[in-house]
Amino acid sequence: MAVTLYSLGAAEEVTGSKHIFEVNGKSYLVDCGAFQGKRAEADRKNRNFGIETDRIEAAILTHGHYDHSGMLPMLPKNGYKGNIFATSATRDIANLIMMDSANIQARDAVYLKKQAQKKGEIFDWEPLYNEKDAIQATNQIVGISYNRPMTIGDGITLEFYDAGHILGSAIAFVTIQDGDKEIKIAYTGDLGRKNKPIIRDPALIPAADYIVMESTYGDRRHDSTHDAMERLAEVAKRAIKNKGRILIPAFAIERTQELVYYFHMLVDQGIIPEIPIYVDSPMATNATTIFQVHPECYDEEIHEAFIKHHKNPFGFNSLHFTTSVNESKALNDHPGPLIIISADGMCEAGRIQHHLINSIEDPNTTVLTVGYMAQNTLGRRIRDKEPEVKIHGQWYKRNAAVEEINAFSAHADYTECKEWLDAIDTSRLKKIFLVHGEPKAQTAFKKYLGENGYSNTEVVRYGQTYETE
């Protein structure tokens, strides 16, 4: 039995997860994410799919985030007619993400064409895919519950374990059987963290021969939740005192709902007074509805302490969801203090860019980053406190304060990844392959794992093939 592994994305980089395992010449795709970064580079990488779709037997989706699901519509667009396996919650979230991306691309095409015409330039950019492609991709997703083995190919069994990252996220555990020979490969997708609100802790998986593991925070540790709550309260109190605004670029899935939960707890405990919170993201509004219909993903604490206590487990009196562009624009004239939570989490698209244009030069504004910011993104430049940033082709002075709280990250840091490895059965583990991380973080993580008993660890390089034993 010949089994080969390789990656066509998220190899020595964080976004654009796209991994292949090939069994006796048949290819299986794990995740099909969009690369995020400089516009021209992202467009080039996302158009270069890397594999002919007629070579793909089946596709697996670990979770719905854009950098894991964003290029799925390219599969049916390029002729793929097979199944895409995911949990039911991931199917719903991925549908939301893909449709939103199709809409953004369509709007970008119109906007950029107008800009080019004003400059007398030729414009020939086309969206990667449209809504029809996104709908077709969703139609091809087959929902599988956690811990329900499913045959996805000749001698290939897939079982999902809860990754504890976002709603519906999964570790894809693949068993490849050929006669008496058996190989087990675990793809962590994005590995979550213990004791996060709303969703369960990452599950422990059976013994695997190979683990393809994320390494986003391979050189960074997260703040404690207690310290983060104190800092969140400080930022809120400062905004209240200055009658300013807090802009939080946050992914519409999980992070938004989690932040709402934490602000609710601070108000509920009397630590901060009520402050208007606006979730200005149609996707986040729809995602919150998806959360409400997937209680199978909740942890016990949410069931007991929150859901039974509130009709809406993700809201309270000071929370408002904007439903139109006009409502979003009206926030520009809204007096402070207020909090605006808006996507995109890396500030590369969406309504957050318009709020930044309106407020980033105001010293009474605080931009609060609460998640990973990839290299060459607007979010990364703001997080790094660059004095000027370019948004929609215009330069703006960054007079706003910038705060970063890492505790809200949905990714396990390097110590949490090791703790998860220590807790699972590694009796048959032959190698750990590191993906989904920047080179500096991966080098540090590989060294750390080697010092802690996991010496056979390799950083996956783009396009390089790896043979199993």
Q: What is the mean pLDDT of residues 437-453?
A: 97
Look up the pTM and report it.
0.85
Mean pLDDT over the full length of the chain: 90
Q: How confident is the model at residue 252 (pLDDT cuts 50, 70, 90)?
A: low
CATH number for 225-408: choose from 3.40.50.10900, 3.40.1390.10, 3.40.50.10890, 2.60.40.10: 3.40.50.10890
pLDDT: is 190 or 320 the higher one? 190
- Cα separation, 147 vs 322, whole angstroms: 37
Whether residue 118 has pLDDT greater than 70:
yes
| Paired tokens of 286 | 């729809």
- What pLDDT does 311 receive? 47
| Alpha helix positions (H), 390-437 | 414-423
- Cα separation, 425 vs 436, whole angstroms: 23
Shortest CA distance to 18 belongs to which of 40, 35, 41, 3?
A: 35
- Cα separation, 410 vs 224, whole angstroms: 13
- What pLDDT does 307 receive? 56
Whether residue 140 has pLDDT greater than 80:
yes
**Nearby residues of 296 by Cβ (< 8 Å), 6 or more positions away:** 89, 145
Q: Which CATH number describes the domain made up of 3-220+410-467?
A: 3.60.15.10
Whether residue 317 has pLDDT greater than 70:
no
Q: What is the mean pLDDT of residues 25-45?
A: 92
Share of the chain above pLDDT 70, in %: 96
Shortest CA distance to 459 belongs to which of 29, 220, 420, 441?
A: 441
- Is 321 within 8 Å of 279 (Cβ atoms)? yes
Domain boundaries, the chain: 3-220+410-467, 225-408
- Summarised one tens digit per residue, pLDDT across range 265-302 is 888 889 999 899 998 877 777 777 787 778 788 887 66
- Summarised one tens digit per residue, pLDDT across range 370-428 is 877 888 889 999 999 999 999 988 999 999 999 998 788 889 999 999 999 999 999 99
